[in-house]
Amino acid sequence: MGESEHDNQMSRGNMVKKKELRDMAEGCLFCRIVAGEVSSEIVYQDKGFLAFRDVNPQAPEHIIIIPKMHIASVAELSQEQQGLVGSLILTAKKVAEQLGIAHKGYRLAINCGHDGGQVIHHLHLHLLGGKKLGDWIG
């Protein structure tokens, strides 16, 4: 167990695909997207993160950004993962720039748990933009 955790930190991606997804997150939709088992409209990816279009967009641009590693929600984050959370937000910034909406502004939102309206239990950040958004979503 200790050894596979090390591998994941050094190179997420393939290691995660083979070792973790199968046991830890069987049936998780976002893990299946990471694994390429479910298709999605990917707009950005790197070693640790994946960004793809929401299938039910709430704005002209609605992107879901996820860590490739399975983390169920904000509630499951540990202190050691603060770097990952920072990278998640910086990835969103990069995607917004890539989409050409950075100069006009956008919204980042994370839903957590039932009352927060979290539908998929794999930590994800919503990037919404492309129009003037209302006071709040949903």
Chain contacts with Zn ion (rule: CB under 5 A): 25, 28, 30-31, 70, 122
Look-up of token digits 């167990």? 1
- Shortest distance in whole angstroms from residue 103 CB to Zn ion: 33
- Shortest distance in whole angstroms from residue 38 CB to Zn ion: 11
CB 112 within 8 Å of CB 73: yes
**Closer to Zn ion at the Cβ: 24 or 133?**
24
- Shortest distance in whole angstroms from residue 105 CB to Zn ion: 30
Distance, in Å, from the CA atom of 86 to the CA atom of 51, rounded to the nearest integer, reads: 15
- Shortest distance in whole angstroms from residue 123 CB to Zn ion: 8
Among residues 62, 122, 124, 126, the one annotated as catalytic is 124
**Residue 121 annotated among the catalytic residues of the structure:** no
Q: What are phi and psi of 103, to 5 degrees?
A: -70, -25
Mind giving me the DSSP string for 59-114?
SSEEEEEEESS----GGG--GGGHHHHHHHHHHHHHHHHHHT-TTT-EEEE---TT
**Closer to Zn ion at the Cβ: 62 or 122?**
122
**Closer to Zn ion at the Cβ: 31 or 63?**
31
Strand order in the sheet with 61-67: 42-45, 49-53, 61-67, 125-129, 106-109
**Closer to Zn ion at the Cβ: 23 or 135?**
23
Positions annotated as catalytic residues are: 124
